Amino acid sequence: ETGVTQTPRHLVMGMTNKKSLKCEQHLGHNAMYWYKQSAKKPLELMFVYSLEERVENNSVPSRFSPECPNSSHLFLHLHTLQPEDSALYLCASSQEDPDTQYFGPGTRLTVL
Amino acid sequence: EDQVTQSPEALRLQEGESSSLNCSYTVSGLRGLFWYRQDPGKGPEFLFTLYSAGEEKEKERLKATLTKKESFLHITAPKPEDSATYLCAVGPPYSGAGSYQLTFGKGTKLSVIP
């Protein structure tokens, strides 16, 4: 595997389910990001981890819970989501300098 | 609050018909302006970073330029494989945690017709 991978690629869940999104980067980077991309809206930064410590949390609802166990892996734990949370969730990574970010293919999430 | 506006929202070009995409921005401070390309079903792919007014960067048929208020992405003699959504983003000056906060525009969807 090369670059940034994300699993699953598609996820359909009910409002009462609990699920997790996984991201893995094979680039030797030490910063990882979660973004949300909704139709007709700009890309929104949700969380940033640098050297496995959370450094940015953009007022994201607590039903989204990130986890970064090491510099190569990032998770987004989901519980009791709302239909408006349906979107493409993108993971990215970079060196400590955030200027060049490498994105994964995203997870298309649908909340019923 | 930083703001980024991209225009047009969508652009259809004939193959070989050159044009430009616009990204205008309002920021309290600018570390850099970034261009990304996003294909359907994929994540954004980094293209360029511009750091100061007057700077230009080129890659194949693409050239990005920067002024104090806007950036242009010029596409010369485009081919169908250039069809994608082009995203522009700005980053604040380095200041610890806030440095990671890129503000993106909504993108321009480019279609190049053979």
Q: Which tens digits make up the pLDDT trace of A44-96?
A: 999 999 887 887 777 899 999 999 999 999 999 999 999 999 999 999 999 87
- The arrangement of strands across the sheet holding A64-70 comes to A4-7, A18-25, A73-79, A64-70
Binned at pLDDT 50, 70 and 90, residue A37 comes out as very high
Q: Where does B1-77 have alpha helices with state H?
A: none
- Report mean pLDDT in 10-residue bins for chain B, 114 residues: 94 98 93 95 94 95 96 97 97 78 94 97
The closest CB to that of A45, out of B31, B102, B107, belongs to B102
What is the average per-residue pLDDT within A20-30? 96
Q: Measure the CA–CA gap between A102 and A34, rounded to whole angstroms.
A: 12
Say if residue A1's pLDDT is above 70: no
Of residues B87 and A40, more confidence is placed in B87
Q: Please report where in the chains the tokens 């979107």 appear, as a residue.
A: A87
Q: Measure the CA–CA gap between A14 and B26, rounded to whole angstroms.
A: 39
Task: Decide: residue A97, CB within 10 A, 0-12 exposed, 13-18 middle, 19+ buried.
Answer: exposed
Contact state of A42 with B99 under an 8 Å Cβ cutoff:
no
3-state secondary structure of A94: strand
A80, B19 in Cβ contact below 8 A?
no
What is the average per-residue pLDDT within A17-22? 95
Closest CA to A42 of B79, B25, B114: B25
What is the average per-residue pLDDT within A17-26? 96
Tokens at residue B34, please?
A: 């970034």
Q: Measure the CA–CA gap between A56 and A49, rounded to whole angstroms.
A: 7
* Interchain CB contacts (distance < 8 Å): A and B: 60
Residues from chain A contacting residue B100 (CB–CB below 8 Å): 31, 33, 45, 48, 50, 55-56, 98
**Residues ≥6 apart with Cβ < 8 Å to A14:** A111, A112
Q: Is A41 on the interface with B (CB under 8 A)?
A: yes
Amino acid at A81: L
Angle, vertex CA B88, rays to CA B84 and CA B91, nearest 5: 150
